[in-house]
Amino acid sequence: MVLQKAKEYKKNRKPTEELKGKTFVMIFFNPSTRTRNSFAIAMIELGGFPLFFEAEKTWLGQQSESPKDTAKVLSRYAAGIGIRIFPNITKWKYGASNQLLQEIAKWSDVPLINLEDDLYHPCQALTDIFTIREKKKKLEGKKFLLSWAYHPKPLPVSVPNSTVLTMTRFGLDVTLLHPKGFELDSKILTMAKENAKESGGSFEIVNSLEEGYQDADIVYVKSWGSLKYYGSFKEEKQLRVPYRKIWICDENKMELTKKDSIFMHCLPIRRNIVATDGVIDGSHSVVYDQAENRLHVQKAILLKLLK
């Protein structure tokens, strides 16, 4: 229903009054360009009102107010709450920000939308499957590659977790590619395998770049930090640095994929580190469509939850 509605919103982008009189309050503990602006504009185009706060300007962000009190009070004002909170993984405990969201959801009397925490980025993943359906129509038998890439900082696993959990539900043949030491949470991998079985797709994990890219229909590139060294910056860096300049998505790797393959990234992307300019600006790339689609999907999510 959400994906269908998003398609309608994309086809006919005009202001409506479907959320007239409703306010969506967002709290951001981290920077954002796409999530913040697409949700804000989505609310405006639906006739509602977006409000956002930098977390440090809230008592919750200052750790001077409990998640319960914040949730209870905001529920009295707004029709929905959105929170982005993912950690600096060199300082946080794995899963801590997801726990905070769960605590707020427990006490909130209005829907809470996860705008990305340390475990999941559900709105991004929903947009990504929307974009894939838009580009590929039939998904059965299509090879979806999620490839790890080198990045100078260890990033959260929210996007890869949500990606494998979502893509395996849509009958795609999902290949997860990463160097040894960058395994995702075993619970997520078990769920992905179960999803693939149910949806009629498949799920495999490979460590060879050639094997991963070979004949891929959809290439999704993302970096994430090693869970093995979560919280240990030095050790994690030692593991990651040797992959610099090797684990980059470049034209040679894209040559191994199908002729009509698409290249995806959720953005922001470090150009010529995660993927080359040639790939990001090349004929396979759909990154700006993917970013645009955040708006249409966000509108459908807000309608479903706030109306």
- Report CA 124 to chain centroid distance, whole Å: 4
For the bound state, the minimum distance from the C-beta of residue 216 to ligand CP, rounded and expressed in Å, comes to: 21
Phi-psi label, residue 299: left if phi above 0, alpha if psi -120 to 50, beta otherwise: alpha
Q: Are 175 and 145 in contact (CB under 8 A)?
A: yes
Residue 114 touching ligand CP (CB under 6 A): no
Residue 34 touching ligand CP (CB under 6 A): yes
Per residue in 254-286, is it b (16+ CB within 10 Å) or e — as a string?
Answer: bebbbeebbbbbbeebeeebbbbebbbeeebbb
Nearest CA to 88 out of 228, 230, 223 is that of 230
Residue 211 CB contacts under 8 Å (≥ 6 apart), including other chains:
177
Q: Identify the residue among 41, 55, 105, 267 touching ligand CP (CB under 6 A).
A: 267
> 200 or 268, CB closer to ligand CP?
268
Q: Identify the residue among 32, 58, 214, 272 touching ligand CP (CB under 6 A).
A: 32
> 124 or 175, CB closer to ligand CP?
124
Q: Segment near ligand CP (CB under 6 A), from 32-40, 70-78, 166-174, 254-262?
A: 32-40
Residue 35 touching ligand CP (CB under 6 A): yes
Q: Segment near ligand CP (CB under 6 A), from 5-13, 27-35, 75-83, 242-250?
A: 27-35
Residue 124 touching ligand CP (CB under 6 A): yes
Q: Is 307 exposed, middle or buried (0-12, 13-18, 19+ CB in 10 A)?
A: exposed
Q: Segment near ligand CP (CB under 6 A), from 31-39, 49-57, 75-83, 218-226?
A: 31-39
Residue 33 touching ligand CP (CB under 6 A): yes
According to CB under 6 A, which residues from 268 to 297 bind ligand CP? 268
For the bound state, the minimum distance from the C-beta of residue 154 to ligand CP, rounded and expressed in Å, comes to: 16
Q: 3-state DSSP call for residue 176?
A: strand
Helical spans, DSSP H, in 116-250: 122-136, 158-167, 186-199, 209-213, 233-240
> 56 or 260, CB closer to ligand CP?
56
Q: Segment near ligand CP (CB under 6 A), from 9-17, 29-37, 184-192, 239-247?
A: 29-37
Residue 143 touching ligand CP (CB under 6 A): no
Residue 186 and residue 188: Cα distance in Å, rounded?
5
Q: Which residues bind ligand CP (CB under 6 A)?
A: 32-35, 116, 124, 266-268
